[in-house]
Amino acid sequence: MAARRPRPAASRLLSALAGLLRTALVLGALAGAGWWAWQQPFMERPRTLWELSRAGPAQALPVPVMGVSPGAIADTWGAGRSGGRRHEGVDIFAARGTPVVSSTRGIVSAIRETGLGGRQVWVLGPGLERYYYAHLDDWADGLQEGDVVRPGQALGVVGDTGNARGTPTHLHYGIYGADGALDPLPRLRAGAP
């Protein structure tokens, strides 16, 4: 049996470079396909969730009830409520049926009719804070859990459902972070034009 002759160093180097080039081309094609897929409509929810998780909490917000200015909102944060509760939000008074819109970009995490809030929508927003829109008379047509919403997008209309039945129609608007309820009024005032 004859001994194999070692390949020259130049041949080994070219072979290694060709292998590296093939690997780089395959990885480049996979990265390109991944980038393409990430931009597609079917990836909107995961992409939005990732972006929201990396964003800081919104510091200035538009009023989520059409036609209401921040100056028209009374500071009711922490006011006493039945059962020894404290008010964890602000009440934004407006005529029944006035549009309620999302104050942030986010993902609709819940649409339900239950408890004190009656008809309500929860939106997961920047910094993974949760935005609570309650006492709605009705929800926006076609709105579904999991929808990606943008600022100004319709969520529903002002009403008096839940424990607000029979009171002047309004939106109860709340913000909840990792440590609980946050006062929305300073952010609404910071968002005033």
pLDDT tens-digit map of 109-134: 999 999 899 999 999 999 999 999 99
pLDDT reading at 8 higher than 80: no
Return contacts of 136-143, CB within 8 angstroms, 24+ apart.
136/100, 136/161, 136/171, 137/96, 137/97, 137/161, 137/169, 139/111, 143/108, 143/111
Q: Which residue has 């404290």 as its token pair? A: 86
Residues 6+ apart with CB under 8 A from 162: 115, 116, 117, 118, 119, 120, 134, 135
For residues 47, 50, 55 and 56, what is the CA-based torsion angle, rounded to 10 degrees? 140
Write the pLDDT tens digit of every residue in 45-75: 999 999 999 999 999 999 999 999 999 999 9
